[in-house]
């Protein structure tokens, strides 16, 4: 027989469960209520089959359902189980049966019952009743989290592949110039500490406008995920549509893109916007004309002197795209020196933080400049790889939390 128990008011502290119970022994119902009620679980205990079925077929949300698989008889109990399971597909159901009825269990388990409890004659099974039910609830929760995490990875991977489909793979460059570029997604860590590569809204493009003018651009849509990706896809489509106009005026081009994006709900809903750096390099004059819509200022690295500097100040960056129509953007003109490198990038490269950004600061423009200087003797591809390596290393393993696009141009003479 079960011995008496003394329950301390501070024991059994933990998450409570909403439990529906169908039981065929009215005398045991009070004991079940006592054992499961100590942790302040929300209980509904039905001592008749009719009452249990009525409760089970209502729209109430339960964390778990416990039922006798022998009441009123195994076949009827199984019919009831199937009705309840159809009504509560996401709710685990646990069966209870006496030792002599265990051969019925296999049928229920095959049909989707999560677990079962053997009801011994002495009632000792009640000692482990709450632990058993809680373990089933925890197991189902863990399975759901793993499922959600996997679906998240699949969804993100699909969006990321869509985004990467617009990133150019073969970059053109005029004589005396080389160009390389890279895009990297940000990362987060989810269940089990596993990294998930996020889909985002960064973008770059490099193409010859005509025989002597090379276009260089980087763009960054606010936020992450599908919306950011679709925003940047919209901009990519617009760039493709209007680049046939062969804009040699970078400000006019940016203004045109801005006006068109202001009419695109996918971009500006919920305060969305896109930053853009659009530049044209004239390979004959070595002149670089550029316009910024909220993007970082281009950087030049003169290899002979190892001098690194920005081509302007933050005041030279205009309003991001998609916020207000008819914005006037400025044209800035610089000469790309012989034996030098020109860098344009999105802010993910600079905004790399180790731990708490308020405490440790960011990789920033000084980090970018230092990386370029240390790569002075390396080729263009290696210098680009080092930029990503150094920015990521600054995070102490946590990874960059923003997408990053970089275009690096080298002038030979």
pLDDT of 250 above 70: yes
Contacts by residues 381-390 (CB-CB < 8 Å, ≥ 24 positions apart): 381/180, 383/341, 383/408, 384/180, 384/181, 384/182, 384/408, 385/182, 387/343, 387/349, 388/182, 388/184, 388/349, 390/363
Question: Does residue 4 form part of some domain?
Answer: no
List the single range of 38-47, 124-133, 238-247 with lowest mean pLDDT. Answer: 238-247
Indicate which CATH number applies to the domain containing 114: 3.40.50.2300
Helices 129-164 and 26-37, interaxial angle, to 10°? Answer: 60
pLDDT (tens digit, 9 = 90+) per residue, 46-77? Answer: 999 999 999 999 878 899 999 999 999 999 99
Task: Confirm whether 150 is domain-assigned.
Answer: no
Confidence at residue 355, expressed as pLDDT on a 0 to 100 scale? 65
Q: 342 falls in which pLDDT band (50, 70, 90)? A: very high
pLDDT in tens, 153-172: 777 777 777 777 778 878 98
Q: Summarize pLDDT for 278-303 with one digit per residue, the tens.
A: 999 999 999 999 999 999 999 999 99
Does residue 313 sit within a domain? yes
If one counts the domains in the chain, the total is 2
Domain boundary among 109, 143, 177: 143
The answer to whether residues 135 and 205 belong to one domain is no
Asked if residue 319 and residue 192 are part of one domain, the reply reads yes
- Does residue 178 lie in a domain region? yes
Q: Does residue 152 lie within any of the structural domains? A: no
Asked if residue 129 belongs to a domain, the reply is yes
Per-residue confidence (pLDDT) for residue 12, from 0 to 100: 40
Q: 199 is in which domain, residue-wise? A: 166-411
Is 157 inside any structural domain?
Answer: no
The CA distance from 293 to 315, in Å, is: 11
Residues 24 and 112 in one domain: yes
Q: Do 245 and 120 fall into the same domain?
A: no
């Amino acid at each position: 027989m079960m011995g008496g128990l003394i329950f301390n008011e501070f024991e059994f502290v933990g998450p409570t469960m909403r439990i529906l119970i169908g039981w065929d022994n009215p005398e045991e119902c009070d004991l079940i209520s006592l054992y499961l009620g100590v942790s302040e679980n929300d209980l509904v205990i039905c001592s008749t089959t009719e009452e249990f079925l009525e409760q089970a077929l209502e729209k109430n949300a339960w964390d778990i359902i416990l039922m006798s698989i022998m009441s009123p008889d195994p076949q009827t109990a199984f019919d009831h189980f199937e009705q309840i399971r159809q009504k509560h597909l996401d709710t685990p159901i646990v069966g209870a049966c006496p030792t002599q009825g265990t051969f019925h269990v296999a049928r229920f388990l095959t049909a989707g019952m999560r677990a079962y409890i053997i009801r011994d004659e002495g009632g000792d099974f009640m000692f482990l009743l709450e632990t058993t039910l809680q373990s089933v609830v925890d197991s189902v929760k863990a399975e759901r989290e793993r499922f959600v995490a996997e679906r998240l990875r699949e969804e993100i991977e699909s969006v990321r592949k869509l985004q990467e489909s617009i990133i150019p793979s073969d970059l053109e460059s005029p004589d005396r110039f080389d160009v390389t570029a890279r895009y990297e997604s940000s990362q987060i860590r989810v269940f089990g500490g596993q990294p998930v590569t996020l889909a985002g809204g960064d973008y770059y493009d490099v193409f010859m406008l005509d025989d002597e003018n090379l276009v260089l651009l980087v763009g960054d849509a606010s936020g992450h995920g599908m919306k950011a990706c679709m925003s940047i896809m919209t901009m990519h489509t617009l760039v493709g549509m209007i680049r046939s106009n062969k804009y040699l005026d970078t400000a006019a081009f940016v203004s045109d893109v801005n006006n068109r994006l202001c009419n695109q709900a996918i971009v500006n809903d919920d305060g969305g916007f896109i930053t853009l750096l659009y530049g044209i390099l004239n390979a004959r004059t070595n002149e670089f004309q550029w316009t910024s819509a909220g993007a970082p200022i281009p950087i030049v690295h003169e290899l002979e002197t190892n001098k690194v500097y920005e081509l302007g100040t933050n005041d030279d960056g205009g309003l991001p795209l998609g916020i207000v129509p008819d914005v006037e953007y400025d044209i800035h003109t610089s000469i790309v020196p012989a034996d030098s490198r020109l860098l344009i990038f999105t802010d993910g490269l600079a905004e790399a933080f180790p731990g708490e950004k308020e405490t440790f600061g960011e990789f920033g423009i000084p980090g970018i400049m230092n990386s370029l200087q240390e790569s002075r003797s390396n080729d263009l591809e290696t210098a680009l790889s080092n930029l990503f390596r150094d920015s990521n290393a600054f995070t102490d393993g946590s990874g960059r939390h923003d997408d990053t696009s970089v275009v690096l141009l080298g002038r030979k003479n």
